[in-house]
Amino acid sequence: MIGYVLPDNIRQLLPTPAPQPHPTGLPLADLKAAPHLFQFRSVVLIERHVGELMSVLRRGDPLDPITVWFSHPGPIVIEGHHRLEAYHRAEWKDPIPVTVFEGTFGEALQYAAYENSKAKQPLERSERINAAWVIVATSPDLPQRAVTRATSVSLGTVNSMFQVAETLKDKRIKPIDVRTWAEARRLAKGEHEPLDHGDEWQEQLAQEWCERLGAAFGTKAQSQPEIFARALELYFARQLPQLVLALPRVELEPEEEELL
């Protein structure tokens, strides 16, 4: 099972000295993951890509090295999340090939964003923009051009991000608590409160997403719930239990149970 570093621990992530000489392989159980920080994708796992990697592992061949950054929870994967998932599903027993990245938290974010932008499954534009915002929000002392180089987001947009971050601070909103650039801009304009400030905002956003689902799928999701449920399973991957826990409990009437 992958050891996840939870979002509440973001502010505690500080680099720790890496072993010397750098290890070239580590036990699978030692590797930690923080995809909410270092993955930057709207879909955390692309199942087709994981399947391709598992085909290589079934032949007995290890994958390209995973990049890790040492922090106090342990070695955290900053590049190679699909490979990490494939190793876990294959129940790989040998040491996992790794390369060690040394630097600050902000530099680790830059490296992850840059590597994801040029990967076989590169980041979409919206994902690169959100990656740039996360770097700005968590590492305000970084040069703007460094953020641009890491994410390929224009210098003008990055400059706007730094300005919005300052506006949020003036409103006593911590930029590190705002996970997307779109939300940061709305908050800076005073259009709504952060997600965890009340149920009303969550309900409003849920309604917006519901309308977008309706526009995308029409009645297909309702008429073919098994296929839609499978699509959700593929989308959430290992985060599926979080969705299940978040869903309200449904009590069926006797006549409804007969229809199942």
- Where residue 220 falls among pLDDT bands split at 50, 70, 90? confident
Q: If you average pLDDT over residues 8-16, what whole number do you get?
A: 66
Q: If you average pLDDT over residues 23-46, what whole number do you get?
A: 82
Looking at the whole model, is its pTM more than 0.75? Answer: no
CA-CA distance, 157 to 143, in Å (whole number)?
Answer: 14
Task: Name the most confidently modeled range: 158-162, 234-238, 248-252.
Answer: 158-162
Domains of the chain (ranges; CATH) run: 3-123 (3.90.1530.10), 199-259 (no CATH)
pLDDT per position as a tens digit, 56-110 = 999 899 999 999 999 988 899 999 999 999 999 999 999 999 999 999 888 898 8
Lowest mean pLDDT among 156-170, 182-196, 246-260: 246-260
Token digits of residue 28: 């699978």
Query: Please, are residues 90 and 126 in contact by the beta-carbon 8 Å criterion?
Result: no
CA-CA distance, 240 to 234, in Å (whole number)?
Answer: 9
In three-state secondary structure terms, 125 is helix
CB contact burial 235-253 (16+ within 10 A = b; e otherwise): ebebeeeeeeeeeeeeeee
pLDDT per position as a tens digit, 114-134 = 887 765 566 778 888 988 999
